[in-house]
Amino acid sequence: MYFGGDVYSSADPFATALGTSDSRVSFIGSDEAALALDPGAIDLGGDFLTPGFVHSGQVLGAAAPTAAEFWDRGFSHVHVLGPRESVREFAAAAPAGLEVIAYPEATPEGIASTDDAAAGAAHREGLDGTAVRGVSLSAEAFLDLEAAPTRAVYVRVASAGQLQTVLDRLGGIRAVAQRHGYRLLLDFSVPTAAVEALGSCGLAVTLDPDRPQPLAQLLSAGAQVSWTYSQASPWASVRSAVLGDDGISARAAFNAATRFAHRAAGNPEGGVLVPGAPADIVRWKVERLVVQVSDPRVAAWSTDPRSGTPGLPELSDSVPLPTRVDLD
């Protein structure tokens, strides 16, 4: 049991205490109630509890952070793409508490030779105990496929030109792509001309908010957006999403970093702190919490407590970013 802080929870936007049991959230509420249930509860000293961040598309390579670095930065889940052996090594080095969702690289020939039964067995058995959600393919390899795979496919798209070609192909197999959880990893600044198609395709879209992106337009179009991160602090990327030219609210940016990222991998219950949810909790030291809008010229403080909107760390450039501290 923890008390004496702030808890980011839709179950109680004014919660100051949280309890866990059997790796699940068991209590969200006030300090008084928490101490009545557990007089030995841990005092947070004003710190902030949130769900862990999710990196939705880490391509493994020499420049990629280590699993330990992800954990230290406040991530609880990392979706990794890369050669099977690289994925295996990354997962083997992951600290306890960091969940790795694997998308090992495949080739058109490899997918064509894998029937549905074998794909299902691979999903169940995992990769040395690591959850294997699907396979990853370059856009070129995806476009070379003769038939639509009947399994989850994560397509790496490197340019706006490639994106249009991939979307054209997806238009002919939309039902299969949606049913099996295809995803798009967009490693570039999305052009506004692609917003409508990304919003209507029904697939999870992962991009870097530190690049110029039409984020508000994408969300308005119904795109299922989650993040990759090019800065060490995930809060810095959330700040980029809020303060960019087409910025979004802090709440929307944080949801893309947590809840929406879990949904992209087929886990609709993840990324929230409510009773019964997984206790993927990270503790942060923060300057102050606000209800922040995307336009920095507008007052960032909630003036009406009846709005019931939980606060998030202030993300203006003049305020230090939150720092992670040990939970216990």
Domain residue ranges of the chain, discontinuous segments joined by +: 2-50+273-325, 53-264
Spatial CB neighbours of 220, under 8 Å, sequence gap ≥ 6: 199
Tokens 């980011």 belong to residue: 8
Residue 100's pLDDT is 96
Q: In whole angstroms, what is the distance from residue 68 CA to residue 155 CA?
A: 26
For residues 59 and 147, what is the distance between their CA atoms, to the nearest angstrom?
A: 25
Collapsed DSSP state (helix, strand, coil) of residue 33? helix
Which CATH number, 3.30.70, 2.30.40, 2.40.128, 2.30.30, labels domain 2-50+273-325? 2.30.40
- Which residues face 183 on adjacent strands? 154, 204
Averaged confidence pLDDT in the chain: 90
Residue 306 has pLDDT above 50, yes or no: no
Tens digits of per-residue pLDDT, 96-135? 999 999 999 998 777 765 544 444 444 444 576 677 899 9
Instruction: Assess whether pLDDT exceeds 90 at residue 301.
Output: no
If we measure between CA atoms, which residue out of 328, 316, 327 comes closest to residue 74? 327
Residue 296 scores a pLDDT above 90:
no
- Does domain 53-264 match CATH 3.20.20.140? yes
At residue 66, the 3 state secondary structure works out as coil
The angle that helices 250-257 and 234-243 make with each other, rounded to 10 degrees, is 140
- Whether this prediction's pTM lies above 0.85 is answered by yes
Handedness of CA 196, 200, 201, 205 (dihedral sign): positive
pLDDT for res 107: 81
Residue 7: pLDDT band by 50, 70, 90 thresholds?
A: very high
pLDDT surpasses 60 at 304:
no
* Residue range 194-214, pLDDT digits in tens: 999 999 999 999 999 999 999
- pLDDT over 60 at 231, yes or no: yes
